[in-house]
Amino acid sequence: MPEIPKTFGLLAEFDNTADVLHAAENVRDAGFRKWDVYMPFPIHGMDKAMGLKNSKVGWFGFLGGVTGYTTGMLMIWWMNAIDYPVLIGGKPMFSPHGAFPPSYELTILFTAFGAIGGMLFLNRLPRLHHPLLKHKRFALATHDKFFIVIETADPKYSEAETRKLLAAAGSQRIEMVEE
Amino acid sequence: MSQPDDFSNDDPTQARPLDLSKWRNLPGKLMLVGALVTVGGAIFSWRHDAMVSFGFFWLVAFMFFLSIGLGALFLVIIHHLFDAGWSVPMRRLNEHIATLLFPWLAILFIPVLVLAPKLYQWMQMTTAHTPDHALTAKAPLFTFTGFYVVAIACFGAWWMLSNRLRYWSLRQDETGAAQCTHKMRFYSYIGIWLFALTLTFGAIMWMKALQHQWFSTMYGVQYFAGSVWLTLITVYVITMLLDRQRVLSDVLHEHQYYFLGSLFFAFTVFYAYVSFSQYFIIWNANMPEETFWFVVREKGTWFLASLIIIFGHFFLPFLGLLRIDVKSNFRIMSFFCAWAWLMHFNDMCFNILPVRFPNGFPLHWLWLPLGIMALMGGFLADRFLKKFASAAPFPIKDPRLIEAMGLYHPVPTQISGGELDQTDTMHGSPVRPKGGH
Amino acid sequence: MSDAASQIAVPVPPKELERAPLVLNNRSFGWISDRVSAITEGKAPKWWWAAFIPSFTLLGVLGAMLFYQATTGVGVWGNHHPTMWGWDIINFVWWIGIGHAGTLISAILFLLRQRWRTGVNRAAEAMTIFAVMCAGIYPGMHVGRVWFDWWLFPIPTYQGLWPQFRSPLMWDVFAVSTYFTVSVLFWYVGLIPDLATLRDRAKSKIRQFLYGLGALGWTGSNRHWSNYEKAYLILAGVSTPLVLSVHSIVSLDFAVSQLPGWHTTIFPPYFVAGAVFSGFGMVLTLLIPLRSMCKLEDIITMRHVDVMCKVTLATGSIVGYAYAMEFFIAWYSGSAVERFAFINRAMGPYWWGYWIMVTCNVVVPQLFWFPKIRRSLLVVFVLSILVNVGMWFERFVIVVISLHREFLPSNWDYFKPTWVDIMTYLGTFGLFFTCFLLFMRFLPMIAVSEVKGVTAQADPHHPAAKGNGGGH
């Protein structure tokens, strides 16, 4: 079945950080949900301007860290004190001192895994295809332009109204993005 | 401030100005009560054990307050070395605390000097002409002359540095000249070397020498770490109080609290790191000439004190301060200040007292060190307040003040690392955009 | 408070105390991506080949040496009784120390909000990874039978034996492999937005595909940035204790023993300071030529060089304090063997090694007190090399001088390296520089998105923001 190209959303381009920040505040205040700001580097205050909550990545990192430390301690205790105890240098079979350095390293390793895994999971990355990446002009989002995209899937979306809102927010260049 | 909601409810700028007038007499009262207890304790100790216990408790309190004096001196020096901007508003009070080192802390050192032959076993050996090998080996340093020379050198260096740094800072209040900044930097350049050496020698001669057979290269670093740790949180609370009294409010920005809190956190970790390394290396090598120091400290309630160091000195502040927003929450940070005082007191007791009380912490004597702490604390607080009242509350013409106030960002931040880093709208700011098209 | 602030007279810094901007000449966002990406696009310049061919040759030497050692046995090294640790451990510690500056720049300076780090962090992190690779070769070979290296990890075997976790060498395995993994991850996470930049400007299909693969579909969405920044912060937060622990654990290899000269409690922080010191030396050695070769003077400015010199000075001075403390406490301890170990360092048969170490690590960095020195690139370059010479000798002093005359005089001997030791060491430079040259040719050697973020126009509240930042 031949597919009719659907529209993904409305793409508004901005030239500088001050404009895009204010525009984002307007979009937020208008009550949109399915929208985003695209920019070559993070702008300060953008989370606030978009009304985003604090990222949850921290929890993934924390869980990773707890897992790492427990794994390390249990592994060393089981291997050196239970499964195959060998007396070395008169030291106890298991002591939290000697087991600390490797467990510490595993804490860090698993925290890093947790943080990166959490980031990728929350961002739904890696992703090989995105409607925006096909758009010619959008390539500048990693260069020197700033974009606000409001998706058609947003309940408040209406082409004319939304376009007006973005234009009023100061965008000189508003285009449709196809799915 | 643009985002009061970033803070918990006790944002100083939202609350009423704090009225501390009913606390005005607190240092005096502390001094009075402390003096009574101290004198009583001295008499009691004199009849009980010829002032030996008194000497030990005095040493605990002295090393405790020396920590704050040296910590403040370090913060001033490091401010200049790093060419820091954010810490300008607190520099003046650090300068005042640092000048307490001389003459006031030097005066408080006199009882240690007088009682030294009772405190230090090696001095008794010297007088009795029965030196052990560890003592003979340290010949020129571990003699009465050596002891006095070190004391004079330490207090001399601290006097020179704290005095000169404050002098040029006050000069800058009048002139605003860049030359004053250069002078302060010069004293910081030589200061950091003198500071490192004198602090190490102070810690060795006055604390480590209690058991002169023991040696550890980390000891000076450990005392340093604990001292700066304590000073940071103390400065945090003083800053906060001055902020609430509207003394520093004009020049503070949120980042001072965040940075002081983060540095306190960093030193929590640093202290744990050096203490653990010292213990761990000695534990592993298991050589009797080193382990005996720890063996003594595993007896009786000293074992408990060591657990307090692990869990109280490290884990509680570490876990408590992991979150970013906590570092700007004044209630929690005030709690941690009180906690840090308790922990550092425990740390000093753990280092000093087991020599005299090998069976555990002398709880029945607790009133005496607390009394001496009150005396010294009240006295030094009184001196500090007098100094503070005598000069502008912050370096009013410091060229970096504008950065501290958050009005001028040489460059905005990249990745925030938290909600506290947002730049202000810069109305009323004298900033000029650099360059242009 | 900003309202209140306008009521008091705010001093404007005098000219001589003004801070230099981090990106010079008011460069625009676009200029930054263009200039950095250009290094990876187009033909490789002649100087690149001139550097690459000898590096690659040396890499071949390394391969040959490793093959020779693996097939013949480590008896081809100069290590012999009583100096059972020789150049292998010296070079292991030396290389891994160099790596520490990269993590310091990327993690610790990030936590300290030192924004100048953005100009140098990518290259420094790459340096970390390649230095750790060079370091990893040595313990891998030192075990003797290379094909049993996997016994180092807790993998079940038919013997039912497990690694012995009371040994500091096992801690090393965990520390170094964690360090390598986390460094690579940290580096890669930082690269994602920049790989997207390269993807979006790629002219050829293959570049587009490969950079696209690396960029993982990054769009620059703020919802993504929000999580990304948090993850980056956590990585910085864990890399900081990690980098401190790695060299601390390396120092424990020595310090938990009972050998005079090795067993001393200050070793962990002293090793960390020394590592950062040598790493900054290497960063300066690499970046001073590169900034002019790649025309990056506006991004890696004189301010960056100045600050890095100061870090070198600070860490060099901490190292100086540790040397002094070691010597002092050896005397203070009254222990005859301790005292001998240190006198032997300064006046024994290897006295020259000790004094090279002291000169290069303590005396030479003191020159950085003088602004004139810090502003002369040539002098800084030479001094930065001396720093690493000094740090090599530090490890030589610790390893060889402590071992060659230990408790029993009948046990004493003089250590000399063999040609295999020397060629292997030179070979690791081949590995390091080959990797580094490939990195700078194919990946953005400056953190593009981060540098954009520290320009004045990136701050939406800054007056410069309105204009999308200046001209070209």
CB spacing of C2 vs B435 below 8 angstroms: no
Contacts of B427 in chain C (CB under 8 A): 2
pTM for this predicted structure: 0.90
Does residue B135 fall inside a structural domain?
Answer: yes
pLDDT at residue B431 greater than cutoff 50 = no
Residue B131: how many other CB atoms lie within 10 Å: 16
CB spacing of C457 vs A58 below 8 angstroms: no
Cβ–Cβ < 8 Å for A27, A148: yes
CA distances from C174 to B279, C147, C178 (A): 21, 19, 6
- C-alpha distance from B280 to closest chain C C-alpha (Å): 8
User: pLDDT, tens digit, for every residue of C330-381?
Assistant: 999 999 999 999 999 999 999 999 999 999 999 999 999 999 999 999 999 9
CB spacing of A42 vs B414 below 8 angstroms: yes
Phi, psi of C321 (to 5 degrees): -60, -45
Of B280, B413, B423, the CB nearest to A97: B280
- C-alpha distance from A172 to closest chain C C-alpha (Å): 14
Does residue B320 fall inside a structural domain?
Answer: yes
Nearest CA in chain A to C460: A18
Instruction: Check residue B1 and give its pLDDT.
Output: 35
CB spacing of C21 vs B410 below 8 angstroms: yes
Phi, psi of C83 (to 5 degrees): -90, 80
**If you average pLDDT over each of A20-29, B326-335, C47-56, C294-303, which comes out highest?**
C47-56
Task: State the Cα torsion B415-B417-B423-B424 to the nearest 10°.
Answer: 160
pLDDT at residue B245 greater than cutoff 70 = yes
Residue B243: how many other CB atoms lie within 10 Å: 25
Enumerate the β-bridge partners of residue A9.
A151, A177
For residues C368 and C371, what is the distance between their CA atoms, to the nearest angstrom? 7
Establish if A125 touches chain C: CB-CB under 8 angstroms. yes
pLDDT at residue A49 greater than cutoff 80 = yes
The answer to whether ipTM exceeds 0.90 is: yes
User: pLDDT, tens digit, for every residue of C322-331?
Assistant: 999 999 999 9
CB contacts < 8 A, A to C, total 219
Overall average pLDDT of the C165-184 stretch:
92
User: pLDDT, tens digit, for every residue of B269-327?
Assistant: 999 999 999 999 999 898 999 999 999 999 999 999 999 999 999 999 999 998 888 98
Sign, CA dihedral C104-C107-C108-C113, equals positive
pLDDT at residue C7 greater than cutoff 60 = no
10 Å CB burial of residue B172 (0-12, 13-18, 19+) is buried
10 Å CB burial of residue C42 (0-12, 13-18, 19+) is exposed
| Of residues C281, C261, C362, the one with CA closest to residue C318 | C362
Neighbours of chain B (3+ CB pairs under 8 A): A, C
CB spacing of A122 vs C227 below 8 angstroms: yes
CB spacing of C229 vs A42 below 8 angstroms: yes
3-state secondary structure of A37: strand
CB spacing of B416 vs A48 below 8 angstroms: no
User: pLDDT, tens digit, for every residue of B350-365?
Assistant: 999 999 999 999 999 9
Nearest CA in chain B to A97: B280
Where are the domains positioned within chain A?
Answer: 1-50, 57-122
User: pLDDT, tens digit, for every residue of A59-84?
Assistant: 999 999 999 999 999 999 999 999 99
- Mutation target for C interface from A71, A74, A106, A108: give the one with most C CBs within 10 A: A108
pLDDT at residue B411 greater than cutoff 70 = no
pLDDT bracket for residue C271 (50, 70, 90): very high
Residue A62 token pair: 């924390």
Residue environment code for B93-127, b if the CB has 16+ CB neighbours within 10 A, otherwise e: bbbbbbbbbbebbbebbebbeebbebbbbbbebbe
Nearest CA in chain C to A122: C227
Write the DSSP symbol of residue B86.
T
CB spacing of B412 vs A45 below 8 angstroms: no
- Mutation target for B interface from A43, A44, A56: give the one with most B CBs within 10 A: A44
Domain range holding B368? 22-406
Percent of chain B with pLDDT over 90: 74
User: pLDDT, tens digit, for every residue of C222-258?
Assistant: 999 999 999 999 999 899 999 999 999 999 999 999 9
Segment among B290-294, B414-418, C2-6, C375-379 with least mean pLDDT? B414-418
3-state secondary structure of C11: coil
User: pLDDT, tens digit, for every residue of B124-155?
Assistant: 999 999 989 999 999 889 999 999 999 999 99
Which one is predicted more confidently, B306 or A131? B306
Contacts of A36 in chain C (CB under 8 A): 221-223
For residues A114 and C462, what is the distance between their CA atoms, to the nearest angstrom? 36
Nearest CA in chain A to C463: A18
Neighbours of chain A (3+ CB pairs under 8 A): B, C
Of C10, C17, C268, the CB nearest to B277: C268
